[in-house]
Structure 1
Amino acid sequence: MADTLLPPQVNRGRTWTRDGISGVELTWNNTVAWLLTPTDAETPLPAVLLMHGHDGVKYYGKEKIADGPDGIAPGIAALREHGYDGTEPAARLVAAGFAVLVHDVFPWGSRRVPWEQLPGRARRAGAHLEGRQRYEAAAREHEHGLAKVAALQGNSLAGQALEEDLTALCVLGDCAEVDADRIATAGFSGGGARVAHLLACSDRLRAGVITASMSTYADIADGRADDTSWLMITPGLPMVCDWPEVAGSAAPTPLLVQFAELDSHFGASGMRDAETALRRDYEGAKTLTTQWFSEPHRLTATMQDAAANWLRLHV
């Protein structure tokens, strides 16, 4: 449980103020994170631990959903246009009155594997490309190798991310700007998978939001595993429970699950079956909310606003 973890030694670095947001760069255990708060807001504030997703991009982590001291990262505008309606999700949560912590987890962003440490097979996968595209092709190939190593060690990539997310939750709760009793977590796609695991393994969260990351293991196995992040797959876990039961184990903690009806990562029946399973786990609790959007696998501004409005009611 998160309560058993002690916050690591955290260093505060660069600070900035831009467009009504004040930021401070935090570092711990080779991890770089940004804490964002509304400028001139009274503290302590309710907070959201906002998880970056997979996005097929490992060179960046937190930069995909938040701007740091140097502004928007190179190449991120196109990614956000495709997957986030051209928005900066962290900024929208700050505008809603939350302190927001975004951090990198292995192997993304500041926790990514350096090019020179990638095995030869992975480097060859990106050899015909240049710049960040070269790195992404190699990192995509290497992800499967990392998952194999984790499994051989009795762990998983999802488990490694969970350990780092639990640490980040401790860091956030220890920040003077934050009300430690009013912390939620939210994430899209691979970030939503991280939310499900964190909800299952911590009792410190007031609420959680999972977006475009909910179906059943049977649905994923039926021709969709190639589009599914290792953040959602832990060897042996399907023998114990189905994917909705991971998130459902947090009942009665308030949970919002947002489904994208046109999501190519999951089948319609798998998503509906997951919703049914969640309602079963939350039966009588009245703290589960599900929302359906006629969208592909993306996090639109409308979905973000719906999540922010829901979080204001439950955090």
Structure 2
Amino acid sequence: MWCPDLYMDHLYMNASDKMRRIEPTWNERKEKVRAKLIEVLGSFDPPPDELNAVVLEKQDMGDYSMERVVYQSDAYLQIPAYVLIPHRLEEAAPAVLAWHGHGYGSREIVGLRPDGSVDEEKQGMPQHYAVQLVKKGMVVIAPEIIGFGDRRLSSDMKKDPKKSSSCAPLASRLLMYGKTLTGLRIYEAMRSLDYLRTREEADAERIGTIGFSGGGLIASLSAALDDRIKAAVVCAFTSTFRGSLLSVNHCIDNYLPAILPYADLPELIGLIAPRALFVESGLDDPLFPAESVREAAVVLREIYESTGHKERLEVDLFPGKHEVSGRQSFDWLEKQLKGLKAGFPL
């Protein structure tokens, strides 16, 4: 009888009521939602003038080449990333920013094991979505998200990268400076976009993004705030706050301070509209339950209908758990980005 469940429910309902009393329609609210999102992410120093990019190594992977590169996001931060380039490109190709989820980092989505060796046993799996997309003729960059893999705090580096991240200590320490870990990751996503646009193999006007789980947070919010991204695939992340982040224990990096009186999660993702968006999620995902995905999809459809471009939103609830499917989304992303070349504005 003394548990705080009722209090937490009251906070959510009160925030929802306040949100809709201020400006009841999306068109009235969207600019304030965008401004509030930027505010709660926290402020960061302007990026350095130069990316100072360096290619560390290059491998021939058969159908494509793979480079390990590093570039500057801040005076004190560098981002390592894999860049996958199709062989025999005759012109600049569509390009994709690919964001891994919680796990051992960018190696996981480019088909490598934690030690950097090729994962022969799992070749062709949807979880290697950077590989699946480069084989469709797109340039793909897979940055290492800060807090994972090679970008953990030194105190975490001796731990198993499959089981250990630096999300909690980074998130809690950044709060002391009025910053958020999500904000830092979105800042670095935009810096990664800056770098991708310097690559001669990539068409700077045909860039999309894809992210799984925590990477879906980065893909969705970076696309929401940066219209240089023309199409986004969000895997295993779309939901309502109440249906997932407020009812299931998640990593602290998913939570944004003081956002709920202004917007729920589908409205933050809806800032991507009218640009193209594909949402996929497993019917048996315990972290982002299907019912919360359906509720979010209703809101997203209303947003896209209000822009006059309901056809630019696709939703796929597939048989599966917390995983990437790709059964429709990979082909969809290829179609969206290649369609820009054919003159179909998105």
Alpha-carbon offset, residue 73 of structure 1: 3.6
Q: Which residue of 1 aligns with 2:134?
A: 94
> Please, which runs of 5 or more residues in structure 2 have no aligned partner?
1-37, 39-45, 73-77, 338-346
Aligned with residue 106 of structure 1, among 146, 159, 168: 146
Structure 2 distance, partners of 1:51, 1:7, is: 23
Aligned with residue 257 of structure 2, among 215, 231, 235: 235
Structure 1 distance, partners of 2:127, 2:290, is: 27
Structure 2 distance, partners of 1:165, 1:262, is: 29
Aligned with residue 311 of structure 1, among 310, 325, 333: 333
- Are 2:178 and 1:154 equivalent residues in the alignment? yes
Contact 1:158 1:230 in 2 (8 A): no
Alpha-carbon offset, residue 247 of structure 1: 1.1
Contact 1:77 1:86 in 2 (8 A): no
TM-score (norm. length: structure 1):
0.82
Contact 1:265 1:297 in 2 (8 A): yes
Q: Which residue of 2 aligns with 1:256?
A: 278
Structure 2 distance, partners of 1:76, 1:14, is: 14
Say if 1:159 and 1:87 are closer, same or farther in 2 by CA, change over 3 A: closer
Structure 2 distance, partners of 1:217, 1:87, is: 25
Say if 1:136 and 1:51 are closer, same or farther in 2 by CA, change over 3 A: closer
Structure 1 distance, partners of 2:70, 2:127, is: 25
Count of aligned positions: 282
Say if 1:231 and 1:195 are closer, same or farther in 2 by CA, change over 3 A: farther
Runs of 4+ that moved beyond 4 A = 4-7, 75-78, 84-87
Q: Which residue of 2 aligns with 1:128?
A: none
Contact 2:171 2:181 in 1 (8 A): yes
Aligned with residue 246 of structure 1, among 240, 248, 268: 268
Alpha-carbon offset, residue 37 of structure 1: 1.1
Alpha-carbon offset, residue 97 of structure 1: 0.8
What amino acid is the match of 2:226?
A: S
Provide the alpha-carbon RMSD of the alignment.
Answer: 2.5
TM-score (norm. length: structure 2):
0.75
Q: Highest relative contact order (Cα 8 Å, sep 6+), 1 or 2?
A: 1
Structure 2 distance, partners of 1:295, 1:185, is: 22
Which has the higher Rg, Structure 1 or Structure 2?
2
Alpha-carbon offset, residue 298 of structure 1: 0.9
Structure 1 distance, partners of 2:109, 2:276, is: 23
Structure 1 distance, partners of 2:267, 2:253, is: 16
Alpha-carbon offset, residue 203 of structure 1: 0.9
- Say which SS state the counterpart of residue 215 (structure 1) adopts: coil
Alpha-carbon offset, residue 210 of structure 1: 0.2
Alpha-carbon offset, residue 61 of structure 1: 1.3
Alpha-carbon offset, residue 305 of structure 1: 4.2
Contact 2:127 2:323 in 1 (8 A): no
How much identity, in percent, do the aligned residues show? 27
| Residue range with higher mean Cα deviation, 36-45 or 273-282 | 36-45
Aligned with residue 60 of structure 2, among 3, 8, 17: 17
| Residue range with higher mean Cα deviation, 8-17 or 196-205 | 8-17
